[in-house]
Structure 1
Amino acid sequence: MKLANGQNLYDFLIQCSGPWDINNRAEFDFDSKQNQSYFYLQYFPKLRKTVDSQPIELNLVFDRRGETLVPNSMAFSTHVLNSKDFLNKHGLKCWND
């Protein structure tokens, strides 16, 4: 699953985020209205604020429908899919930067 900056979601979580959160999860689910199965994905990347390097934990929530990620929350989840500079837009940097 590609993010707007060209990186895939897994690489972003492994290479940019800090320590793995035990609450990260993927759950199989079924949408009876569309008669379709999908995966509910929720991740808590640990990043740093650009201004003062203070840690911040965000919430990424998606439905994976086939090969498509559909954001399930506003702001950050949507921006990682639609804005190449999503980190800058939110005043963030990778954990180890």
Structure 2
Amino acid sequence: GEEAARAAGAGDLNVLIGYDLRFWRELSALVGNPYLSDFFHRLRVQSWMCAVPHLRRAGDLRGRLWSGHCDLVEALAHRDGRAAHAIIAEYNADSLGLIERLAGERSG
């Protein structure tokens, strides 16, 4: 998680993608259902494939990419379901917000 968070904070998309995919793949494996884990991994790969061209056009990504990987690991390690849920909700909101901003920059 630390590598993904560092890459996100630095806006290093090339490094972030690999670490992010690995982070979520390992996290989803904890569920113990390889079918769901594989499905979520394929979905995440497809999401990155769609997002990368837009992110590359956005220029400097420092501070614009979600970097809560370590916070999520910590919440899960402490079995804090509320905190983990809040972090995932923040991740979802952050991702949607970034997509909306990128779409607005492109059309504006």
TM-score w.r.t. length of structure 2: 0.25
TM-score (norm 1): 0.27
More helix by share: 2
**Structure with the higher strand share, 1 or 2:** 1
